[in-house]
Amino acid sequence: MTEATRASGANTRGRIDPDRDWAQAVAFDRAHLWHPYAAADGSAPVWPVASADGVRITLADGRRLIDGMSSWWAAIHGYNHPVLNRAARGQLGRMAHVMFGGLTHGPAVDLGRRLVELTPAPLEKVFFCDSGSVAVEVAIKMAIQYWQARGQPAKHRLLALRGGYHGDTLAAMSVCDPVTGMHRLFAGLVPQQIFAPQPACRFKDPWDPSAIDEFARLIAAHKDELAAVILEPIVQGAGGMWFYHPEYLRAVRALCDAHGVLLIADEIATGFGRTGRLLACDHAAVAPDILCLGKALTGGYMTLAATLTTAEIAGTIGRGDAGCLMHGPTFMANPLACAVAVASIDLLMAGDWQALVRGIEGQMVRELEACSGLAAVRDVRVLGAIGVVETHVPLDLHALTTRFVEAGVWLRPFGRLVYLMPPYVIKPRDLSALTRAIARVLSEA
Ligand SMILES: *Cc1c(COP(=O)(O)O)cnc(C)c1O
């Protein structure tokens, strides 16, 4: 390495030397890289990360932050986990990838078997895809191709819930909340779907049967054009962090059956124990016709998702015009990602995740109570390993995130929501540091 390349912070292959010149790296990022939902003008702060281990994210300047986000629901076992590392290395020695068209491999079969086992009985056909949004696209295509194959092509629309979030590709966007999803930006391109109100009855309140009335009216009125209902069971995530009553989900299942409409459960955020049950559908003992999984599927290591459906739906699609499901990603069933997913699921099932999630839930209920009395706070709610503090007015995302980093924690609020979904392995002391930081920062807000 020459002195010049050293001075620029890059080695001879143009890579960042992590011990040198992070300022240059950040400057390049600010000038050239997009971040999620951010202007590419360098105005939003970014913190360079050197490494992550357990529930700690180590910044380039050596500061260590306690992670309260699990990198968006995904890193349920924490970072740099020896078991997941071993699975990735072991698979890397055999093959990182091979196409899935006409070929198969052990990691895909092992993972498929586990997904069929841990999901409700009628779900037995597994489609692997690259990301949650694609899993939703695939689910929608399954529903539409199913009705086409049954000679009912008019059944091609979706009924979704306000306050929902299902991803960022075009069909997935079409079923996100039309206001926060900014449908007007893409008018004409994003198909127009039908929206029921956000479920009004909270998870922990007594069931109010009138909460399903408007949904019941809409599904009856539109049944001839509806392919499927799509919803996030029990917990609406990025669309508002809202927890609703299991009876609502049970009523939706019954109405779908009564009106001949499929039910798609998007468990991309809720799957793998986050809500206190392995799947959020388990709170209501409901089996969907199509199920989407993602996020925590690989324990946060790699991008992978899956869409599951029944033998009846898969068989019907196969007898349709196309003779197959019209989808096939290049990196379908990537062996590295599948191998890590298998290790992550086995790790979850071998441990007492229910006790971990219950412990986190109880502690968040006790400790976030401190926020209820704050002037800025409108509502505090906890379910499983998800804690939410909702404020009266929208928060200054950048100012707040900066305050949290200064307090030694990684939390990323949005809108009127500060939320907490730590890795399941978090210790009570670290969780307390997170809840205290939220109370302190919001008391100043
Ligand atoms: C994150 C999320 C998606 C989209 O997943 P990506 O991997 O970001 O494409 C879809 N549905 C739900 C419920 C999600 O939380």
Contact 46, 55 (CB under 8 A): no
Which sequence spans correspond to the domains of the chain? 47-80+352-444, 85-350
> For 371, how many CA atoms within 13 A lie in the half-sphere containing its CB?
31
Whether 163 lines ligand 1, by a CB cut-off of 6 Å, is: no
Per-residue pLDDT at 18 = 58
* Residue 20 pLDDT: 66
3-state secondary structure string, the chain? CCHHHHHCCECCCCCECCCCCHHHHHHHHHHHCCCCCCCCCCCCCCCCEEEEEECEEEECCCCEEEECCHHHHCCCCCECCHHHHHHHHHHHHHCCCCCCCCCCCHHHHHHHHHHHHHCCCCEEEEEEECCHHHHHHHHHHHHHHHHHHCCCCCCCEEEEECCCCCCCCHHHHHCCCCCCCCHHHHECCECCCEEECCCCCECCCCCCHHHHHHHHHHHHHHHHHEEEEEECCCEECCCCCEEECHHHHHHHHHHHHHHCCEEEEECCCCCCCCCCCCCHHHHHCCCCCEEEECHHHHCCCCCCEEEEEEHHHHHHHHCCCCCCCCCCCCCCCCHHHHHHHHHHHHHHHHCCHHHHHHHHHHHHHHHHHHHHCCCCEEEEEEECCEEEEEECCCCCHHHHHHHHHHCCEECCCECCEEEECCCCCCCHHHHHHHHHHHHHHHHHC
> Catalytic residue positions?
37, 165, 266, 295
Question: pLDDT per residue over 235-249, tens digit each?
Answer: 999 999 999 999 999
pLDDT, average across residues 204-218: 98
CATH no., domain 47-80+352-444: 3.90.1150.10
* pLDDT at res. 301: 98
* Gap from CA of 269 to ligand 1 centroid (Å): 7
| Residue whose CA lies nearest to ligand 1 atom number 7 | 132
Nearest residue (by CA) to ligand 1, atom 6, is: 132
CA-CA distance, 272 to 353, in Å (whole number)?
A: 9
CA 7 / ligand 1 centre spacing (Å) = 40
Per-residue model confidence (pLDDT) at position 8: 44
Judge whether residue 6 has pLDDT over 60: no
46 Cα: distance to centroid of ligand 1 (angstroms): 22
pLDDT class for 291, splitting at 50, 70, 90? very high
Which residue out of 35, 133, 293 has the highest number of ligand 1 atoms within 8 Å of its CB and is therefore the one to mutate?
133
CA angle 24-29-35, nearest 5°? 155
Least confident of 92-106, 127-141, 174-188: 174-188
In order of 259, 401, 402, 418, the CA distances from 398 in angstroms are: 46, 5, 6, 13
Per-residue pLDDT tens over the stretch 213-266: 999 999 999 999 999 999 999 999 999 999 999 999 999 999 999 999 999 999
List, for residues 292-351, the tens digit of each pLDDT value.
Answer: 999 999 999 999 999 999 999 999 999 999 999 999 999 999 999 999 999 999 999 999
For residue 136, pLDDT beyond 60: yes
pLDDT of residue 1: 35
For residue 14, the model assigns a pLDDT of: 64
Q: Average per-residue pLDDT in the chain?
A: 95
Distance CA 203, CA 4 (A): 60
pLDDT tier at 182 (50, 70, 90 boundaries)? confident
- CATH fold of the domain at 85-350: Aspartate Aminotransferase; domain 2 (3.40.640)
Q: Which atom of ligand 1 is nearest to the CA of 267?
A: 13
Residue whose CA is at the smallest distance from ligand 1 atom 5: 132
Share above pLDDT 90 across residues of the chain, in percent, rounded to a whole number? 91
Q: Whose CA is nearest to atom 15 of ligand 1?
A: 269
Alpha carbon of 16 to ligand 1 centroid (Å): 30
User: For 373-409, how does the pLDDT look when each residue is reduced to its tens digit (9 = 90+)?
Assistant: 999 999 999 999 999 999 999 999 999 999 999 999 9
Pocket test for ligand 1, best of 161, 243, 264, 268 (most atoms within 8 A of CB): 268
- Report how far residue 415's alpha carbon sits from residue 396's, in angstroms, rounded to the nearest whole number: 8
For ligand 1, atom 11, which residue shows the shortest CA distance?
166
Distance 21 CA to ligand 1 centre (A): 34
Give the position of tokens 């357990």: 54
Residue 7: pLDDT above 60? no
